[in-house]
Amino acid sequence: MSASAPVGADPTASVQEPTGPDAKSPWFDAACAILMAVATLSTAWCSYENSRWSGQTATLQAQAETLEREAMEMILESRQFEMAHLHLATKAADAIVEGNEKLARFYTERFTGELKPAWEKWVALKPFENPTAPPHPFVAGFYKPRFADEIREKQATSLKVSTQAKTTGRYSSGYLSNTVILAMVLFFAGTAGKFDHRRVRQPSLGFAVALFIFAAVRVILLPVA
């Protein structure tokens, strides 16, 4: 027959806090609570900065893609003009070789844009008589493709913006990884006080503190959006 508990005894009296070497210091729970509070605020800050840097990264990537697309459109349009100029220059050269001055003049009088100065430079070298002259007026230094300066500028700007997007992306990833580290801080700080043994409880809190210091240093080194 099992012994019954004395009448009026406290049913929770058997649940006692560890005594002796495993007794919890009075400051332990307060330290865990303060660490968890600071880690929670830090997590919110890192999440906010991550969203800010992510937004900037998306904006910069969109700008870089737009500039690259505009440069490609200019390149295609420039190629079309170059093909048309090549066709006219070939017809004019053929007419000159055949001795048909009227037809040659018909074509050369219609040279416009980048072809006209290139043709004049080329003809000045007497290419039909001088074997050392360039074979056509589309060599470098004679013919300058249309939109060449604009294309280079847009491509350079696109590369610069793309580099900035990679930089802001690294900042965003840094803040995101900090939120993961701070989540570990919350876990270890929250469970540290539940252990009865001092050799488990204190290392758990110490590890949480070390993680928090590591995350805090990373936050200090990261720029603010």
State how far the Cα of 185 lies from the Cα of 206, in Å rounded to an integer: 10
Q: How far apart are CA 45 and CA 167, in angstroms?
A: 20
Helix (H) or strand (E) holding 199: helix 198-221
Rounded to whole angstroms, the Cα distance separating 59 from 63 reads 6
The SS3 of residue 210 is: helix
Q: Please count the helices (runs of H) and the strands (runs of E) in the chain.
A: 5, 0
Going residue by residue through the chain (225 aa), what tens digit of pLDDT does each one get? 444 445 554 544 444 555 555 666 778 889 999 999 999 999 999 999 999 999 999 999 999 999 999 999 999 999 999 999 999 999 999 999 999 989 999 999 888 889 999 999 999 999 988 889 998 899 888 999 999 999 999 999 999 999 999 999 999 999 999 999 999 999 999 888 787 777 788 888 999 999 999 999 999 999 998
What integer pLDDT is reported at residue 15 of this predicted model? 44
Count the helix, strand and coil residues of the chain and give each as a percent rounded to the nearest 5: 70, 0, 30
Burial class (CB in 10 A: 0-12, 13-18, 19+), 97: exposed
Please give the Cα distance from 161 to 64 (Å, whole number).
Answer: 6
Residues in the chain, overall count? 225
135 DSSP assignment? S
* Residue ranges covered by each domain of the chain: 28-221
